[in-house]
Amino acid sequence: MRQTFVRAFGGAAVLALALGASAGCVKSGEDANKAGKDCSVKIAFFGALTGPNAALGINIRDGAKLAIDQYNAAKTADNCKIELANNDSQGDEKAAPGIADAIVQDTKIIGVVGPAFSGESKAANGKLSDNGVTIITPSATNPTLADQGWKTFHRALGNDAAQGPAAGRYIKDVLKAQKVFVIDDTSEYGKGLADEVKKTVTPVATGTTSKGQTDFSALITQIKSSGADAVYYGGYYAEAGPFVKQLRGQGVKATFVSGDGVKDDKFIEGAGKDAAEGAILTCPCVPPDKAAGSFAADYKKATGNEPGTYSAEAYDAASILVAAVKAGNITRPNVEKFVDAYNGKGVTTTFKFTDKGEIDLSAVAVWAYKVEGGKIVALQEIPKP
């Protein structure tokens, strides 16, 4: 009994080893040689398609997909078709490095549209950059991302350092508010934005909210006692909605100003039409109907929805990579060279990347939107300093 078992077990172990030895090593880089004959390439989307943060990710994916589909539909494409590789990160920093590795190993991928959020960018961009994969993020706006020494990093929109001061200027110059109360939600995005606003306007006091908070009475007491005439909120609509509702319910009349994280119809739903009325929302994004060309109409036709936040930026980011392929660049180093030297007009702004991968911040248009009659309408472009 025991003998047979030992034999069986030992045999299995030896077999496993033999298999392992005979199996040979994983070959990497085999696809690279093929590129000469077959010039089809992939552009990777990197962001959340599922989970709590999926809404923005889907906007971005659809924008990028539109650019690529338009290219593939045109006859100029020859056999150099471009495929969009969806990489769903759920916005989870823990998953980001593994996804970055998978992108690196798929040598057909010449560039990445994303990562969508600043947190996952920090966890993934090092790997992508070390392996020469061109990164163009259409949405991660943390200013420090450009200072990490990632060679292939590019940002297709203004960072918080463009939106924050613009919001501050709007509060100071247009609203002419004397006392500004600045709030953030301690998130990477919200705090980053609020910190930039604080640099432009000196807050009379500051406060914080947290994810999932529904009772804001302590914060509102603080706002009331500060006598603020404007409230700036750095954060997302999920908390901003109930907060504004309670703020107005307590009779605070101060103008509510916030950023692109709140620029969503769900904000009005959460706050109620009456309370949301008059809220000012800034965004370094051009109103879709002001975007050049037929982008807004094409997007609507392709997806059935109006362009959402970051859709136009994603379209531009993908278009730059598509332009690289059009120019015959189908290897990572060539694409990187092309994008670094790129100078052209997209639907949102003019793209010419600095050494750090930023677009010219003074050229970034930050728009102010206003809630009027239960709708978010474009108000004006915030004047540049």
Indicate whether 251 belongs to the interface with another protein (CB under 8 A).
yes
CA distance 319 to 65: 10
CB of 380 to another protein, least distance (A): 27
- Candidates 70, 49, 74, 72; CA nearest to 59 is 49
Instruction: Kindly tell me the sign of the dihedral angle through the C-alpha atoms of 358, 361, 363, 364.
Output: positive
Q: Which one of residues 271, 279, 280, 286 is an interface residue with another protein (CB under 8 A)? A: 271
Stretch that binds another protein, among 247-255, 313-321, 325-333, 353-361 (CB under 8 A): 247-255
Per-residue binder mask for another protein (CB under 8 A), 21-60, x = binder: x-xxxx-xx--------------------xxx-xx-----
* Interface with another protein, residue 372, by CB under 8 A: no
Q: Which is nearer to another protein, 50 or 380 (CB)?
A: 50
142 versus 319: smaller Cβ distance to another protein: 142
Residues 215 and 192: their CA atoms lie apart, in Å, by 23
Q: Which residues pair with 369 in a beta bridge?
A: 281, 378
Whole-number minimum distance, CB 294 to another protein, in Å?
A: 29
| CB closer to another protein out of 183 and 322 | 183
- Which position among 40, 213, 331, 334 is part of the footprint of another protein (CB under 8 A)? 213
List, in order, residues 6 or more apart from 350 with CB less than 8 Å away: 343, 344, 359, 360, 363
Rounded to whole angstroms, the Cα distance separating 137 from 244 reads: 31
Residues 352-371 that bind another protein (CB under 8 A): none
Which of residues 151, 172, 179, 191 is near another protein by CB under 8 A? 191
266 binding another protein? (CB under 8 A): yes
Among 64, 135, 140, 238, contact with another protein (rule: CB under 8 A)? 238
Under the criterion CB under 8 A, does residue 207 sit at the interface with another protein? yes
Residues 126 and 148 sit within 8 Å (Cβ to Cβ): yes
Q: Which helix (H) or strand (E) holds 335?
A: helix 332-340
Which one among 42, 61, 127, 154 touches another protein, defined by CB under 8 A? 127
Q: How many CA atoms lie within 13 A of 237 on its CB side?
A: 22
> How far apart (Å, rounded) are the C-alpha atoms in residues 169 and 201?
8
Name residues contacting another protein, limited to 57-86 (CB under 8 A).
none
Which of residues 134 and 209 has its CB atom nearest to another protein in the complex?
209
**8 Å CB contact between 135 and 112:** yes
Is 142 an interacting residue with respect to another protein (CB under 8 A)? yes
Tokens of residue 152, six digits: 């292939």
- Residues within window 147-166 making contact with another protein, judged by CB under 8 A: 148
Among 40, 70, 72, 208, binds another protein (CB under 8 A): 208
Q: Name which of 99 and 146 has its Cβ closer to another protein.
A: 99
Sign of the alpha-carbon torsion through 120, 121, 122, 127: positive
* Part in contact with another protein (CB under 8 A); list of ranges 6-14, 290-298, 301-309, 328-336: 6-14
What is d(CA 93, CA 120) in angstroms, rounded to the nearest whole number? 5
Tokens of 64: 């990028």
List the interface residues with another protein, window 283-322 (CB under 8 A): none
As measured in angstroms, the least distance from the Cβ of 2 to another protein is 5
Q: Are 363 and 351 in contact (CB under 8 A)?
A: no
- For residue 132, state whether it binds another protein (rule: CB under 8 A): no
Name which position in 250, 305, 350, 380 contacts another protein (CB under 8 A): 250
Structure tokens that stand for 208 in this block = 């914080």
Contact (Cβ atoms closer than 8 angstroms) between residue 223 and residue 252? yes
